[in-house]
A and B are shown apart, each in its own frame.
Chain A
């Protein structure tokens, strides 16, 4: 059975072992200092543009000012994406890992552009669906994050034979745009993203 799959027997992580924000801080997030500057973009899938952002306090009280989007939130956005091959999430398959997500703040005080870097670990080194998985993650983040985030989705070094090629494709916005004109790919990606809330 499942002979046509690249990896018929993937390791599955127990849901309770998946990283989550335990006894996490109150749900009212402080507004990031850059939010004042960034315009609000209505996005269908943008969970951050909703109501909670009304407590405008631009003073940062001694604490290190922080961005309101951190690695855990990026993880939450992508870990629920379904694998195109298995009825499992990228989080439970260990394709997306919290440790392999980083959020870089603007490099200069004047810049307002942050970068999210996600390294993916394919279930097998020969997984032919690596590109599609990467595309799904990229599309998910492009849709969910505000436009001031640049999204770099890459395959973790040493985990795939085609990593360089896939990285290059995912880094090329024209390639990504062209891929999202392909009906087959759109269908696959939509199915993958259907499990995200």
Chain B
């Protein structure tokens, strides 16, 4: 179950660092000895901010820095430690209308931004504070709501008002769309990749059967999956169909310079749908890199946590949420041989099922909830190593912290 935690806010995504006017739409960060923060603004510009960290360069991940003083609330204790102030570094102009989301690549000095102007921009940081536009990608036919990087490849996903998700990679010299994921019946509000360290792993995987092992191997080969959530109230899991022979598994570097590289396009399929708990548009989700649990939230004010499990054979145990249909008696001959039919719905055709394990209603009073994310717990109330808390933000203007108990 989820319980609201009264302790201090720790390590959320960065709070509103404002430039010019308006709260940023989405903020991202990375750690390079000094912390770097990128903010996307309603005024169509992105800002880059820097701050020296104590013990910087020692590899202390930014996520563990305690922001309880000063920064979290805005100006409360602003006078303490001026060195810890965020320093405005550079402004990135180019978009025509407000920036909806941005993200630093975890594998290269790239920043992806997206906007209501229907475009996705990729920026490369050449040296400090010198950002060059690498690509302006305009295939989407509507506002681009969210961008997210693959954890191990230079592969960017974008979600749009045109109901589609697109994946982008560099092809020879140019960035281009390498996959189009269709299926959602409304604006796709959020996309996110699975963590690289536990691809396809399940929360409870004690001993695995041969069949299950094959599924895990397949997933390992396919790489991190992708989650998307939409105005159509659904949350979908997408998986790449691995290529037979792929010389460059990372997809980067210079592939043979053929005119059209047929190794470029990727095929992704809808692997599963999460139980449909939300009754209104789903605005955000977050896939825990540590536990593999997924949290989602949206217009109905609910926060829901899901877990992926092995289907337990033929037992038709409690179906927590009507949509999980299990085919009794047929633990299926599936998944070992590609491809799982594209029409596969509600997780049928795999050996796993997604289950909603916790739900909070009215998480932010009667208001819509816009964002939820997992964060490593670091306060005194921490109950075990690597405990994670959920952080949510709502239209009531509040940031809330939730603990999760299984």
Residues of A that sit less than 8 Å from B by CB: 38-39, 107-108, 110-113, 146-148, 150, 168, 171-175, 178, 181
Contact = CB atoms under 8 A, between A and B. Distances in A.
Contacts of B279: 107
A112 B367 CA distance: 10
B370 to A, nearest CB: 9
Instruction: Choose among A110, A146, A174 the residue with the greatest number of B CB atoms under 10 Å from its CB.
Output: A174
B368 interface: yes
Contacts of B362: 110-113
| Chain B interface, >50% SS class | loop
B299 interface: yes
Interface string B362-406: 100111100000000000000000000000000100000000000
A62 B361 CA distance: 28
Contacts of A147: 365-367, 395
Nearest to B42: A181
Contact of A178 (B98, B187, B366, B367): B98
Given A38-B366, A172-B187, A174-B116, A110 B143 contact: no
B23 to A, nearest CB: 11
Contacts of A150: 280, 299
Given A107-B279, A172-B231, 14 more contacts: A39-B365, A108-B361, A111-B361, A113-B362, A113-B366, A146-B366, A147-B367, A147-B395, A168-B161, A168-B187, A171-B231, A174-B100, A174-B143, A178-B116
Interface of B: 42, 97-98, 100, 116, 143, 145, 161, 186-187, 231, 279-281, 299-301, 361-362, 365-368, 395
11 contacts: A39-B365, A110-B362, A112-B362, A150-B299, A168-B187, A172-B161, A172-B231, A174-B116, A174-B143, A174-B145, A175-B161
Contacts of A174: 100, 116, 143, 145
Contacts of B365: 38-39, 147
A23 B360 CA distance: 43
B368 A173 contact: yes
Nearest to B361: A110
B303 to A, nearest CB: 13
Contacts of B368: 173
Contacts of A108: 361
Contacts of B100: 174
Contacts of B116: 174-175, 178
Nearest to B302: A111
Nearest to A108: B361
